Chain A
Amino acid sequence: METTFATELKDGIARITLVGKLDATHAPALQEALKGLIGQPVDKIVFFARDLDYIASAGLRVIIFAKQQIGAGAQVYLVGAQAPVLDVVKMSGLDTFMTVQDAFDA
């Protein structure tokens, strides 16, 4: 699947749709896209990951970046992640600090 990242901010909810591979090659593009959210009023950072096939540490770092730079007070959600992706998130311990769920209703 071709890798694309889409971001949208509405009513304090930043929705980030991840498709394809969040690896070292593609992570910088996502980080750039997320920079547009810095300084905006964000209560929730929601990563939609149903069509994310793969994540490496470069991708985990972007999630950490999002939390640190966009909103220390914002709640981070990981929605619909496939098992192999979720495994990597769990190995890093990041799942403890985000809400992992199958679906997201604002």
Chain B
Amino acid sequence: MSESSFPATLDRLDEMIAFILDFAERQGLNPGAAYKVRLAAEEVLVNIVKHAYPDGPGTIGIACAPAEGAAGIAIEIKDTGLPFNPLEKSDPDTALPMEERPIGGLGIFLVKKVMDDIGYVRDGDTNILRLVKHAS
């Protein structure tokens, strides 16, 4: 188990991702799985940085643990910003040509595509998103 918290700012994004990837590597994730963890982590963290705290600075808590059952990583990402359940967002229409695409909505969709399991709970004033990626 490895836990830390960071200011919810874009200039700390690389540090947050490195924190998660270090743990993922220790769980034996291959480069392909690690790439997917990086992608999901970035999408979730950027969303929080950009939208969770419209009124001022905020914090992001990250906890990494070995996945249950099979080898892998379970990542818990917490913020105390606006309630937001990414699983309720509808998927974008990937058949739309580029000139008709709305600019948003892709990030969460990619998270759903690349993770093996995603769970969300709102606990009091805290959004808790749990992401699981198996090693292979």
Q: Return the CB mask of A24-55 against B: 1 if under 8 Å, else 0.
A: 11000000000000000000000000000010
- Determine the chain B residues whose CB is within 8 A of the CB of A23 once the complex forms: 13, 42
Residues of chain B within 8 A of A6, CB atoms compared: none
Q: Is the interface of B mostly helix, strand, loop or mixed?
A: helix
Q: Known interface pairs A24-B13, A84-B32, A91-B110. Does A68 touch B98 (Cβ–Cβ under 8 Å)? A: yes
Q: Mark B67-95, 1 if CB is under 8 A from A, else 0.
A: 00000000000000000000000000011
Query: Could you list some 10 contacts between A and B, CB below 8 A?
Result: A23-B13, A56-B43, A56-B107, A57-B43, A57-B109, A61-B106, A68-B99, A84-B35, A88-B39, A91-B114
Q: Please give 15 more A-B residue pairs, beta carbons under 8 A apart, in addition to A24-B42, A25-B11, A94-B98.
A: A24-B13, A25-B14, A54-B35, A56-B46, A56-B107, A57-B106, A58-B46, A64-B103, A68-B99, A68-B101, A84-B35, A88-B110, A92-B94, A92-B106, A97-B98
Q: Show the binding face of A for B, using Cβ within 8 Å.
A: 23-25, 54, 56-58, 60-61, 63-65, 67-68, 72, 76, 84, 88, 91-94, 96-98
